[in-house]
Structure 1
Amino acid sequence: MEHLVIVGASLAGVRAAEAARSEGFAGAITLVGDEIHLPYDRPSLSKEFLEPEGDTEPIYLSSDESLRDLDITLALGETAIRLETIRQVVVTNHGEYNYSSMVIATGSSPIMIPGAENLDGVHVVRTLEDSRAVRSALDRGGDVVVIGGGFIGAEVASAARKRGLTVSIVEAAEVPLVRAVGADMGASLSSLHAKFGTELLCGTGVVGFEGAGHVEAVALSDGRRIPADLVVVGVGSRPATGWLVDSGLELDNGVVCDEHLRTSVPNVYAAGDVASWHNPLFERRMRIEHFMAAAEQGARAARNAVTPGLSQPYVTVPYFWSDWYGSRIQFVGVTTEDYEVVSGSLGEEHFVVLFRSGNGVVGALTLNGQRHIMKYRRMIEQKKSYAEALDFAASRRAAAVFG
């Protein structure tokens, strides 16, 4: 009997299982996950979940009943420890699963700074337990230090400031978000912190933590000491590929895949944060750690896995969003050094920035530009010219003036 094994019971894994059934796959499906919870939404853990009035229950991606109705076997609380591709077996801490095809969707793991192993009060935000601990600490109050000026760190800082807490963000780079949106955009977005009372300390690193049992302060490389009752580490993540080291799969900043999400080993596909795949739209390899990509990749990988003769490439325009201090940041595509502000102004409450490559539009960044962003995403997907994107921007400005 055919058996699809999916390792990773988060968004990519759940959508993979559902897509296999919708494709008509009649074999067995096993969804392996190392957490005991039913699959739940992760992006909300650093957003709505941490808000003072936010819901304390996770957003589940599917119910136990729905998964049973699809005849999907859940193997929760099991950690994959080895993949034997010759035998076509996934080995977990509880046993083995033979597969005829499989999807790797193990995601990524947050990077923790050494020195905090025996201290309470130092957290990352990745799992439901992580977010519950951070929310409880925020509700208790005190001084908050966020290490890392990226999107998750900014979301935590925003939630803390809404409670009136003292917040400091420590960022090793001179400008936050350089790799994500470039230096100019990173500086503009990060100016929100000062407007809402968050201290941003750039160009300095963390050399240690102080405290007896519970964190009391963070020591910086420039000699400063920042008092802390809660420390949240948001310095990035690594693809969860440690269990695949001896599998024979090609690994390079994730599981290397072609445009069909096929790995270097027959019958094995990858999706979500762990997948490093060739995106034909931009003719480059990408690894995207965002909600929409995980959902789409999971579904495409499973369909390709169970119907390889009908395999289709996964092509997408990357999209992500982040909420800071009541404002929404959205980005589509890729950045370049050739950009133009086509609506509003950097540093104001609203702006739209377009990124250009040659004669084409390849990216767009908005602050409070929800009515604009998806139109630009479609234009990038359709390989519209930069001139067409400028025309659309002009029409939006005219509508705002005369509408």
Structure 2
Amino acid sequence: MKTITIVGASVAGIRSAEALRAAGYDGRLVLVGDDARRPYDRPPLSKAFLDGSLDEDAIALLDADEEADLELDMRLGVTAARLDPAGARVVLADGSGVATDGVVVATGGRARRLPGSEGVEGVHVLRTLDDALALRRALRDGSPRVAVVGGGFIGAEVASTCRAMGLDVTVLDGLPLPLAPVLGPRIARSCVALHAEHGTDLRPSVAVSGLATVPTAGGPRRVVGVELGDGTAVPADVVVVGIGITPNTEWLEGSGLALDDGVRTDAGMVTDLPTVVAVGDVARWTGAVGARRHEHWTSAGEQATVAAGNLLAGVSGDTFRPSGYVWSEQYGRMLQLAGHPSAQDRVDVLDGEPDGGRFVARYVDPDGVTTGVFAMADPRLFGRVRRSELRRPAQAA
């Protein structure tokens, strides 16, 4: 292959570029990104960047030397409009095109919004650097009441950051126990308890029916609260919506790729077209338990390594084996999960106390195999237990 085009300049795209070079590819490498800024890391946007502890330089995915080593032909600030497999081209929204022999689809997704929230002043999502800058300005602009819609990891991190800034925070979630689908009920309860411990008002099992707004002088309407399904409302100066993403696949319609809540790939991240692979949040990977997307920072890099090798080999030989590693920082505590536990797995606490703010636990399946490891505020022990026990028969606790 003389030219490979990576569409998407976030972590999945950058890790793909690194993986291709590491695998020996020395041809032309084009990186297309709809964000005009140099590639940046997203996890800090809800934490240290949001509160101002980090600046834009600190969240760059590449420094100047790393960028030079990759020898990237960067096309930033332009959106991919169409994939033309027959013509072997990626067509860009500015009318230009890139002739290419291979394509890495790494276009990620965009934040879902509440119906009727578009253009309403004070309503924010958090997906891009521009989103984070806008939210940071709003939080510093005399807005003491924050409502977070969605109690997953992003919502919890935003709530944590806002509380540390001295703001009043309410978290609204439709589940009776947020994070339970990922962590299971016992460990989720320990994580959710952090909200109350730090003064966040968590309201589970609520349905959001709309936004309460008021007109402004000659401008857009401004949010003043979140309306709930029971007829009540939560007053808010700022509303942050964290209810997931929609994969960016519109530009691939008519390309011949299978699109179904993302780009369908086989176990090796290869699409229906052998010269096209997909990685990151946009990739709907087919594994042992069916097709699903892995919306995790770690998975993006793991997928990139597999996809790069298979793209260069021209055959889907290697397969993606997700580590299942996820982390979150909330209220000064590091939460870490590795593996693939299920709701039926037993939870053994190995050290510390779930109610004490520091503990390490393992998940054990009915066959006695450790399927997952979780830690709150103990990264060192988490690493040791992960290395020694994950995917092995559990020893007596």
Q: Provide the C-alpha distance between the structure 1 equivalents of 2:114 and 2:184, rounded to a whole number of angstroms.
A: 25
Counterpart position of 1:129: 130
CA contact (8 A) 2:348 2:363 kept: no
Q: Kindly provide the amino acid, as one letter, of the partner of residue 150 in structure 1.
A: G
Name the counterpart of 1:308. Answer: 314
- Superposition RMSD in Å: 2.1
Matched, 1:371 2:377: no
Deviation at 1:283, TM superposition (A): 5.7
- Report the Cα distance in structure 1 between the residues aligned to 2:103 and 2:306, rounded to whole angstroms: 13
Residue 274 (structure 2) pairs with residue 266 (structure 1):
yes
Q: Which residue of 1 aligns with 2:45?
A: 45
1:299-358 Cα deviation digits (max 9, x unpaired): 331232123369422223111111111111111112222222323333321122222222
Cα deviation for residue 274 of structure 1 reads 1.4
Alpha-carbon contact 1:52-1:162 (below 8 Å) kept: no
* Structure 1 counterpart of 2:87: 87
* Shift in alpha-carbon separation, 1:65–1:351, aligned structure 2, 3 A: closer
1:241 aligns with 2:253: no
> What secondary structure is seen at the aligned counterpart in 2 of 1:25?
coil
- Could you tell me whether the CA contact under 8 Å between 2:268 and 2:316 is conserved in 1? no
* Residue in structure 1 matching 2:237, options 201, 206, 229: 229
Q: Which amino acid aligns with 1:144?
A: V
Instruction: Report the counterpart of residue 100 of structure 2 in structure 1.
Output: 99
Q: Determine if contact 2:270/2:316 at 8 Å carries over to the other structure.
A: no
Q: Which moved more, 1:67-76 or 1:322-331?
A: 67-76
Q: Distance in 1 between matches of 2:389 and 2:72?
A: 37
Task: Return the offset for 1:139.
Answer: 2.0
Separation (CA, whole Å) in 2 of partners of 1:295 and 1:26: 20
- Per the alignment, residue 218 of structure 2 pairs with none
Report if the CA contact (8 A) 1:105-1:298 is conserved.
no
Q: CA deviation at 1:80?
A: 1.3
Residues 227-269 of structure 1 show CA distances to partners (whole Å, capped at 9, x for unaligned) of 1111110011122222223222122332222222111212111
Amino acid of the structure 2 residue aligned with 1:190:
V
Contact 2:257 2:273 in 1 (8 A): yes
Which of 183, 186, 199 is matched with 2:185 structurally?
183
Give CA deviations for 1:185-228 in whole Å, capped at 9, x if unaligned.
32321111011000011111221212322211111112222111
Name the CA distance, whole Å, in 1 between partners of 2:33 and 2:56: 22
5 Å matches for 1:199-348? 199-209=201-211, 210-212=213-215, 213-279=221-287, 285-308=291-314, 311-336=317-342, 337-342=344-349, 343-348=351-356
Of stretches 344-353 and 61-70 in structure 1, the one that deviates more from structure 2 is 61-70
Instruction: Tell me how far apart the structure 2 counterparts of residues 252 and 180 of structure 1 sit (CA, whole Å).
Output: 22
Q: CA 1:82–1:276 in 2, change beyond 3 Å: closer, same or farther?
A: same
Q: 1:275-314: per-residue Cα shift (whole Å, max 9, x none)?
A: 22245xx665442212221122223312321233694222
Other-structure match for 1:143: 145
Return 5+ residue gaps in structure 1 as ranges: 395-403
Deviation at 1:30, TM superposition (A): 0.5
Does the CA contact (< 8 Å) of 2:179 and 2:188 recur in 1? yes
Q: Which amino acid aligns with 1:366?
A: A
Residue type matched to 2:345 in 1? D
The TM-score, its normalising length taken from structure 2, stands at 0.91
Mapped to 1, the partners of 2:2 and 2:133 lie a distance apart of 39
* TM-score, normalised with respect to structure 1: 0.89
Is the Cα–Cα contact under 8 Å of residues 145 and 167 in structure 1 kept in the other structure?
A: yes
Judge conservation of contact 1:11–1:61 (CA < 8 Å) in 2: yes
2:361 match: secondary structure: strand
Matched, 1:349 2:357: yes
Which amino acid in structure 1 is aligned with residue 108 of structure 2?
A: G
Q: 1:78 to 1:356 in 2, by over 3 A?
A: same
What CA distance in whole angstroms lies between the structure 2 residues aligned with 1:318 and 1:286? 13
Instruction: Kindly provide the CA deviation profile for residues 77-136 of structure 1, in whole angstroms up to 9, marking residues without a partner as x.
Output: 111122222322222202222221111111122110011112111111110011111112
**Contact 1:144/1:229, CA 8 A, preserved across alignment:** yes
Q: What is aligned with 2:77? A: 77
- In structure 1, C-alpha distance between the alignment counterparts of 2:374 and 2:69, rounded to whole Å: 41
Question: C-alpha separation between the residues in 1 aligned to 2:170 and 2:389?
Answer: 37
Instruction: Give the 3-state SS of the residue equivalent to 1:347 in structure 2.
Output: helix
The farther-off stretch of 24-33 and 184-193 is: 184-193
Q: 1:57 to 1:199 in 2, by over 3 A?
A: farther
Aligned residues: 386
